[in-house]
Structure 1
Amino acid sequence: MNRLKELWSRSRRITKINLIVGTVAALVFGYIAVTAYFGTASQVRYTSNDFPGAQKAASAFLHLSPFQRHIGYFNRGTAEAAVGDYDKAQSDLEAALEIAPTSAECAVRINLSFVYEKQADQIASQDPDQSQELYDRSLQTLEEAPQECQPKKSEEKQKSEEAKDRVEDKKKGEKAKEEGTDDEDSQSKDSEDEDGSSGDEESPSDGEDQKQGSEDEKSDDSGEKSEREKKREELEKRGEDSERQQRQQGPDGNGGRSSPDKPW
């Protein structure tokens, strides 16, 4: 009888232990499953252009997961960039870059470069110097990527090269516009100086010599203006090409293209 009681008591203890262990295991599994769900959901919603939903899912992932947090920062920053919230996107993507493993670093750098590029586009007309600095930062972000995360013929390599070419074109276009403006101002000033000096040098004597001299001066002046005009037209054309490219991309990066202009 005592033996039966002892067996029963042992069986109950084993049952309790198994119940506790099973409950803990279920909770851990549920936690992992929920965390993985939000991490995946942020990517799926971003792909389907549900950017607010992607931001919420990425934020939930960051609240839940102490591991691989670069995924949460990357997904949230990418979704923020897609809706034009570039300041928040910059903060999140820079946080992701600090903790991302080498294998994921290139993807973070490509999207962070995109953010710098868009910030430069926004202020190009108001602050050309700051715009050029942001274009430089965009290029530097791409150039500092480790080779381990962008092997030859990989998608990361292709995206990085496309971004570099795009930023370089914009940078040159903005610089050309600025130089064209400066050249136009300089030409206007030179014209004023020439008009003033010609007025001072006029003399009523030696009519034929004066006429001949005026013709020579006019000929030289005409040739000089022709060279300036050629240079200005070339600079203006490069500037117009840059403006056309930016108009095609749209103010928030989603106009004029067959696919949305959003981070990778």
Structure 2
Amino acid sequence: MTMPNEAAALLRSNRRRRRIRRWVAIGTIPLTLAALLFVGKLLSMYAFAHQSITAYVVDDFAGSEASARGQEFLNWFEPYKAPFNVGTALGGAEQLPEARTQLEEALDLATGLEVCGVRINLALVVERMGDAARADGDGAGAAELYGEALTITIETPEACRSKQAQLQSPDPQRDMADSLDGTADRLKQKQQEEEQQQQPQPQPGEKEQPSEDKLKGLQDKLEQGTQERDQQQGDDQGGSGTEKPW
């Protein structure tokens, strides 16, 4: 009687263990799927980023944009990267207003040294918008856009000139400090040129209007001449009575 009871108890114990293992396996399915999704998302982010950069280098801006938009789905890691890469690709394709919108979104999402590359590209896109406005004959609009691009550049944090920022640069071949300085100098010159163009220029044959100081000097001379004439007339009336020309 003892052996059958022990066998039955062992059988029940094995069944219980199998049931527990089965429920443990079922319970870990969500965690396993989440882990797989996490790894897959990481790999896809790197793949899309690589494809976007590679396409941009060969001037395939449409392909670069398409790859960058692949980063938008479940964009948990570095959320600024997707709009940054999309905006950069659109800028290369001369879709400047759309590029500006994407880069401004990236700037809102960026933190720390991430803002450095975003600000540099945003300033360049706005500068090119100013160039386009100037080419269309809109000097006032160009000057305004140059001013906006200059503000974006000047407000770039000083930390973006550091070695750590350079290590995180989206373009290691481009020195961030040199880019910021060169962009600022170029924008100041362009803005000044456009502002000078907006100043009214005298038309050919048009006489220059005298300044207030010149007008006052002329008035003083006229008053002095009138006084001298009146004095001479008074003196002449005591003589021949003939009015002399003045």
TM-score grouping bracket, smaller chain normalisation: 0.5 to 0.7
The percent identity for this pair of structures is 26
The answer to whether residue 131 in structure 2 is matched with residue 131 in structure 1 is: no
Using CA pairs below 8 Å that are at least 6 residues apart, which structure has the higher relative contact order?
A: 1
Q: Which residue in the other structure is 1:169 paired with? A: 189
Match of 1:47 among 35, 57, 79: 57
Q: Which residue in the other structure is 1:227 paired with? A: none
Structure-2 separation of matches of 1:131 and 1:11 = 75
Q: Which residue in the other structure is 2:206 paired with? A: 189
Match of 1:10 among 3, 9, 17: 17
2:140–2:198 CA contact under 8 A, matched in 1:
no
Please state which structure has a larger fraction of its residues in helix. 1
Structure-1 separation of matches of 2:13 and 2:41 = 38
Q: What is the aligned residue count? A: 188
Where does the alignment leave 5 or more consecutive residues of structure 1 unmatched? 192-264
Q: TM-score, length-normalised on structure 2?
A: 0.67
- From the superposition, tell whether residues 100 and 126 of structure 1 become closer, same or farther in structure 2 (CA, over 3 Å): same
Q: Which residue in the other structure is 1:70 paired with? A: 80
Query: Deviation of residue 187 (structure 1)?
Result: 4.1
Where does the alignment leave 5 or more consecutive residues of structure 2 unmatched? 1-6, 167-174, 209-246
- 1:226-237 correspondence runs (5 A): none
Query: Deviation of residue 175 (structure 1)?
Result: 3.7
- From the superposition, tell whether residues 127 and 55 of structure 1 become closer, same or farther in structure 2 (CA, over 3 Å): same
Amino acid aligned to 1:162 = G
1:186 alignment partner, SS class: coil
Task: Give the number of the structure whose alpha-carbon radius of gyration is greater.
Answer: 2
- 1:93-132 correspondence runs (5 A): 93-124=103-134, 125-132=136-143
The Cα offsets for residues 71-93 of structure 1, whole Å up to 9 and x where unpaired, read as 11111001100010001001001
- From the superposition, tell whether residues 40 and 22 of structure 1 become closer, same or farther in structure 2 (CA, over 3 Å): same
The Cα offsets for residues 94-126 of structure 1, whole Å up to 9 and x where unpaired, read as 111112112011211111111111111111152
Q: TM-score, length-normalised on structure 1?
A: 0.63
